[in-house]
Amino acid sequence: MTANILQKTDCSSPTTDNRRLTTVFWDVDDVLNDLMREWLFFYNHKNGLSTDYDQLTSNPPHKMLGISIHDLRASLDDFRLSKNFFKMKPVPSVYKWFEANAANTRNIALTATSIKTASTASAWVFKNYSKWIRTFHVVPSPRKNEFLPEYDLDKIEAMSHLCRNGILVDDNEDNVKKAVSSGYTGLLFPRPWNSNAGKSIDDFLKELDRTLGQAKQ
């Protein structure tokens, strides 16, 4: 009995009404929301800068901004803990996709936010997406002088403990490549800092639809 419990779940197992659903792991920041765009607006205003979001060709963008990675993470955490984060709207086309399609997928939020901002991140997800996302999982991004128990090295290891198949939607190229090499399907959400920068979000969502259609065959 114990061995069976510890086995990874087949994430395409039938629902109570006998529908077989594909699981989609959704990155939160810069996929479900526009974190970097919203944060940059406030960072520019606070520091008298005019950095263009579309020119952020790397993420994290600390080198472009001339600050340390620790200062960048601290600034992002401050924003995530502010009312401006909680007031953020979902990415409109992504939210429309959820309204039209997410009842036909199992949806898991999978984020690498810091542990001290995990509560606000989860609150934001459930405030906006709780009709479809019932599971929130965090692989904490490291912070200076913070020591935590280590359960998963990265998102892919976390996915491996949750189920043995599924689709990862993420804006981080390395995460997507690791997902594919581990036997999952990985789809790169278009952002200025990755190789899908020239693709529209609408075109990406059509790709997701095609991938889900193939998974059902």
- The 10s digit of each residue's pLDDT in 110-137 is 999 999 999 999 999 999 999 999 999 9
Give the percent of the chain with pLDDT over 90.
80
Residue 25, strand partner residues: 108, 168
Percent pLDDT > 70 in the chain is 90
Q: Is the pLDDT higher at 11 or at 178?
A: 178
> 152: how many CB neighbours lie within 10 A of its CB?
17
Domains annotated for the chain, with CATH where assigned, are: 2-34+90-216 (3.40.50.1000), 37-86 (no CATH)
